[in-house]
């Protein structure tokens, strides 16, 4: 009797999965249908191969993993019968809580979806970094980069660096703060985030750490956007981002804005990052220098998303730093920023696990491309409908709130002298005349409904307004 070839085994397995239809089928059921002709580990290898070829999709984790036909309405042909399109356009239908996944990405997802005890523990692989040569190696193929440039090109592409990000800053603060925090499990809604950032109102029922995480994002984003000279791929910039993002969130306060001094573990992963502090310092400098040398903004952004979390230079908050750092080239080149809006948490986590455990970037690249397309839909298409923010007001927002609140609480009239007498020393001399005019304009629009923006309680406003109205002319 002729020996069954690998191709025949794959065709048989694909046919069984196709027969299951959209409901999918688990590995136990497949083993039973195969009648003992496969061992479980052999079956898992065959399934991974089918996923890699794009003939099936994998959904769920552990014992809940199910295998589905990539196109339920058509029988699956073997790879020899057809030529698949390029990896970044081979979108395989997936669950609603995931992103469209390439065949390579699906294979990674299948591999890291195995139970943790079946995955081989790995440490930091220096070869993964050393085999990358800036502007010669590319994680994003040329055609894909060209596609992303076309998507992200903004109406501000001929203006000074950072103009586009400033134009949409109010919306970016909310979207990126919420989405990046959501990827860390933060339960704030987007509306809650908007109220917190715009009016300083913490959401009820949320713990202080979640509120702090949102506010930290806001400060870090403003650091990059309001002063574009900070939007540079440098070690001091990345450390500053960590200081902003981790403020008040670290068990050890001295770990804020500092390369870690102890070993860390990655929850749910078999990856063990480097533990030696001196080695970390050295590699952190190398990774940053390599990233700075990359000329293409999309390749630079994705390199940072890959290698900063992989190195884990900080005790915590590494992925948050990488997500904001990925926006540095977009700010500098006036491209649409990457807000991570609507990115499914599981897809992002799986993409990072593929990097940690397999040194493969395909699934994270799928997430990156989908996320960037989604961000472009949010910003480039609506740019003409946005009112550009007052950058001067944004820069002096805190000082403005302090002056207005102090005048109201002291029951004073909103005069030029009152504003000048309470103006903080942090307002530069060159800005002071403009600051006075801005404060007086804010008093002209102040009422009980919007006074909360400056930390003024309704009763405080009512008392001040009563005194002002009853004062003699």
- pLDDT per residue rounded down to tens, the chain (473 residues): 455 577 777 878 888 888 777 677 888 888 878 876 667 778 888 888 887 677 887 776 666 677 888 654 443 444 433 333 333 333 333 445 799 999 999 999 999 999 988 999 999 999 999 999 999 999 999 999 999 999 888 765 666 766 777 778 888 999 999 999 999 999 999 999 999 999 889 999 998 999 999 999 999 999 999 888 899 999 999 999 999 999 999 989 999 999 999 999 998 899 999 999 999 999 999 999 999 999 999 999 999 999 999 999 999 999 999 999 999 999 999 999 999 999 999 999 999 999 999 999 999 999 999 999 999 888 865 554 544 556 788 788 889 999 999 999 999 999 999 999 999 998 999 889 999 999 998 888 888 878 878 888 888 888 898 888 887 65
Q: 277 and 343: one domain?
A: yes
Q: For residue 141, is it within any domain?
A: yes
User: Cα angle vertex 305, ends 337, 223, to 5°?
Assistant: 50
- Select from 84, 103, 134 the last residue of a domain: 84
Q: For residue 112, is it within any domain?
A: no
State how many domains the chain has. 3
- Select from 54, 84, 114 the last residue of a domain: 84
Supply the range of the domain harboring residue 446: 391-470
pTM (two decimals): 0.65
pLDDT at 10: 80
pLDDT at 64: 66
Q: 128 and 80: one domain?
A: no
Q: 367 and 403: one domain?
A: no
User: Do the beta carbons of residue 329 and residue 172 sit within 8 Å?
Assistant: no
Q: For residue 346, is it within any domain?
A: yes
User: Do the beta carbons of residue 59 and residue 65 sit within 8 Å?
Assistant: yes
Q: For residue 243, is it within any domain?
A: yes
Q: 191 and 308: one domain?
A: yes
Q: For residue 93, is it within any domain?
A: no
What is the rounded distance in angstroms from the CA atom of residue 14 to the CA atom of residue 17? 5
Q: 31 and 67: one domain?
A: yes
Q: 310 and 238: one domain?
A: yes
Q: For residue 162, is it within any domain?
A: yes
Q: 169 and 42: one domain?
A: no
Q: 402 and 370: one domain?
A: no
pLDDT at 153: 84
pLDDT at 450: 82
- Select from 63, 84, 105 the last residue of a domain: 84
CATH of residue 30: 1.10.10.10
Q: For residue 105, is it within any domain?
A: no
Pick from 296, 294, 325, 355: nearest CA to 148: 296
Residues 6+ apart with CB under 8 A from 23: 66
Q: Which residues of 34-54 are buried (b: 16+ CB within 10 A; e: fewer)?
A: beeebeeeebbebbbbbbbbb
**382: alpha, beta or left? (left if phi > 0; alpha if psi -120 to 50):** alpha
pLDDT at 15: 82
pLDDT at 459: 84
CATH of residue 230: 1.10.3290.10
Q: 430 and 282: one domain?
A: no
What is the rounded distance in angstroms from the CA atom of residue 229 to the CA atom of residue 379? 23
Q: For residue 331, is it within any domain?
A: yes
Q: 314 and 339: one domain?
A: yes
- The dihedral over CA atoms of 366, 367, 372, 375, expressed in degrees to the nearest 10, equals 140
What is the rounded distance in angstroms from the CA atom of residue 287 to the CA atom of residue 130? 10
Q: 238 and 286: one domain?
A: yes
- The dihedral over CA atoms of 142, 148, 151, 152, expressed in degrees to the nearest 10, equals -120
Q: 142 and 271: one domain?
A: yes
């Amino acid at each position: 009797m002729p020996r069954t070839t690998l191709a025949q085994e794959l065709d048989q397995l694909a046919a069984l999965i196709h027969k299951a239809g959209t409901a999918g089928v688990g590995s136990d059921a497949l083993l039973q249908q195969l009648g003992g002709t496969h061992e479980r580990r052999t079956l898992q290898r065959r399934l991974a191969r089918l996923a890699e070829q794009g003939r099936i999709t994998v959904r769920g984790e552990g014992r809940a993993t199910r295998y589905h036909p990539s196109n339920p309405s058509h029988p699956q042909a073997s790879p020899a019968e057809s030529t698949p399109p390029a990896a970044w356009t081979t979108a395989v239908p997936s669950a609603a809580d995931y992103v469209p996944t390439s065949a390579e990405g699906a294979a990674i997802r299948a591999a890291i979806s195995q139970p943790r005890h079946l995955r081989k523990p790995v440490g930091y692989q220096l070869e993964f970094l050393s085999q990358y040569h800036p502007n010669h190696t590319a994680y994003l193929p040329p055609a894909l980069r060209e596609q992303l440039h076309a998507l992200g090109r903004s109406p501000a592409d001929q203006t000074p660096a950072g103009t586009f990000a400033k134009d949409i800053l109010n919306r970016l603060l909310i979207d990126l703060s919420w989405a990046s925090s959501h990827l860390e499990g933060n339960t704030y809604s987007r509306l809650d985030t908007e109220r917190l950032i715009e009016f300083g109102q913490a959401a009820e029922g949320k713990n202080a750490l979640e509120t702090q995480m949102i506010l930290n994002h806001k400060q870090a984003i403003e650091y990059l956007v309001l002063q574009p000279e900070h939007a540079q791929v440098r070690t001091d910039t990345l450390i500053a981002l960590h200081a902003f993002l981790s403020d008040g969130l670290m068990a050890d306060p001295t770990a804020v804005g500092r390369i870690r001094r102890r070993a860390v573990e990655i929850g749910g992963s078999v990856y063990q990052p480097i533990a030696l502090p001196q080695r970390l310092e050295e590699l952190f400098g190398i990774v940053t220098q390599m990233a700075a040398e990359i000329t293409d903004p999309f390749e630079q952004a994705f390199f940072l998303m890959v290698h900063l979390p992989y190195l884990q230079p900080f005790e915590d908050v590494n992925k948050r730093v990488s997500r904001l750092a990925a926006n540095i080239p977009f700010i500098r080149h006036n491209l649409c920023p990457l807000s991570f809006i609507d990115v499914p948490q599981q897809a992002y986590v799986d993409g990072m696990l593929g990097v940690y455990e397999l040194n493969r970037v395909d699934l994270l690249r799928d997430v990156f491309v989908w996320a960037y397309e989604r961000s472009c839909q949010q910003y480039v298409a609506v740019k003409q409908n946005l009112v550009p923010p007052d950058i001067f007001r944004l820069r002096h927002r805190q000082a403005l709130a302090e002056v207005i609140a102090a005048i109201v609480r002291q029951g004073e009239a909103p005069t030029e002298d009152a504003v000048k007498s309470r103006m903080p020393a942090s307002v530069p001399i060159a800005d002071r005349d403009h600051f006075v005019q801005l404060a007086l304009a804010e008093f002209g629009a102040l009422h009980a409904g919007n006074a909360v923006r400056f930390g003024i309680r309704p009763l405080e406003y009512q008392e001040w307004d009563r005194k002002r109205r009853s004062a003699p002319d």
